[in-house]
Structure 1
Amino acid sequence: MSINYDFADLEAFLAVKDLGSFHKAAERLNLSQSAVTRRIRKLEEALGSQLFERTTRAVKPTLAAKRLQARAEAILEDARETARAMRDESVAFAHQRGAVVTVATIPTVISHLLTPALKRFHAAGHSTRIRLIDAAANEVTEAVAEGEADFGLCSIPMLEPATAFETLMEERIMLALPPDHPAAQAARVDLNQLRDTPLILPARGTGNRLLIDEAAARARLDLRWSYEAGRSTTALSMVRDGIGAALLPEAVTHAAGLPAVPLVAPDIARPVGLLSRLGQTETPAVTALKAQIRAVAAGN
């Protein structure tokens, strides 16, 4: 079925319905009264229903008009929302053109890598707006591969063949312990000697859990976990409350102020780096932000 009316016709309908007058509707829309009349007639013909009963004294909406009102309002609001979203995506104003950069990132690198880079980026005079997608490593990879993000910060190299991974740093996985734990001041810790301490691991499917499981398999270590936590913040809260000990990235434990001890074996380190889509043309803002991230990672 073809649609023989448009948004302007719906706007004219709502104006007449709201004001009860073709003349007042024409004034609101900055149109002639005859133009409003033509739009209403066009809409009535397209819908096959009379929308208004016209008398010399009043314009009364019909039942069909009352039924149409909510749908017309919803259609126009959806259209406005789409227009707003598209303007935001394309950054309509000249001074903002190309000034939205979308970064997909694992949450555990935001505070010590991305946030300092953003501060330096804006201090250098960039007015770019930044959209963050904070997600698990596999979701970061998907966002970059599918073009949803301009680039990513990730800890799993190249899950998608359409991406390229640039290692920026390696970060050790530590055992975070409650402050009053007997091993909290140890130089290193052997998990086999902590069987009485419940172990908290990252949830399956996360980048950190993949690294831990692979390292444990190589070392033939049986990790007997008691808890799985999807987010590092959850694991940290559990450690702080004395529930158990958690395997977490060093920067995360350092920021939390919890005792963190290296493992005797296996020694687990995760690569942290920039994930880009192959063949993508970078905007100047993307290039500049990546440069600041590299500088922070290098300690410059």
Structure 2
Amino acid sequence: MNLCTSRALGLALGSAADRLLGDPARFHPVAGFGRVAGALEQRAWAPTRPRGAAYTLVLVGGTTGLGLLADRASRTHPLARTAVTALATWAVLGGTSLDREGRAVAALLEADRLPEARQRLTHLVGRDTRTLTAGEVARAVVESVAENTSDAVVAPLVLGAVAGVPGLVGYRAANTLDAMVGHRSERYAAFGWASARLDDVLNLPGSRLTALLAAGLGPDPRGALRAWRRDAAGHPSPNAGPVEASFAGALGLRLGGTNTYGTRVEHRPEMGDGRSPTAYDVTPALALARRIDLAAAALAAAYALARSWRRARPGAEPRADPGAGTLVP
């Protein structure tokens, strides 16, 4: 079993662990990274882009470096490489947690427990939820499911397939920093710029693959592609736009509208031609997200296996493995 085969098996096992077990209940490495990042921010913050870029470089670069060390340490032991990749994949994926939170909000809405649904929604979104109507809560859940299917599942799997453990953990570090300091506010407008832009770049392939899978696996492929082509550019995020538009078109919904973030109000263009979401539209959105999760895991593992088979062909030239920093025959 060569390194790419180990990577494929590790990605598949890690994806299965996330689906079956969800996030680790204690000592979650992403939570630990967040605590380190928060402590460093208190010392490093300044209202300048260079200071924020240095902060991002130290944290994302350091995390990626640790992933590279783990890859190198296991490069001569395929079973160890499989285990390390599986653990990293399990740690960085968040599909099951997203599913649980979405179902919890939907259940509260269906039981007419709107105040509790608003509070539970804060686990999924950064917008102000205190005055949202039931329909607005449902819209927020569907939008979050769409965006986080890309951010928390598909994008890390893409980078894991290409670059192994360094790609997995480096992506999750960048995405976590974007959530912490990359949003638009007076404090983070300059300091969080580098984190936000790095996350945008790393999410580009994953978001497009997510939008394609939403179109291919949803009930209305033509509607998904039409909404993506027509409406995605109006979204303020270059990556959330294609994903949310494709989900809207695939599910026959209309997403977008006014969102409040503290003192900042965003008026987002509508995406899709359907009706406004209700509590009963969350379940189909989550079902579509689960299908996308499974397809993305299969594609990531297949890509890694294809690289393995290509390198195993007689006469194939050895190539550098970006995840291991060494030549793989």
TM-score (normalised: structure 2)? 0.21
Please say which structure displays the higher CA radius of gyration: 1
The structure with higher relative contact order (CA 8 Å, sep 6+) is 2
Higher share of residues assigned helix:
2
Higher share of residues assigned strand:
1
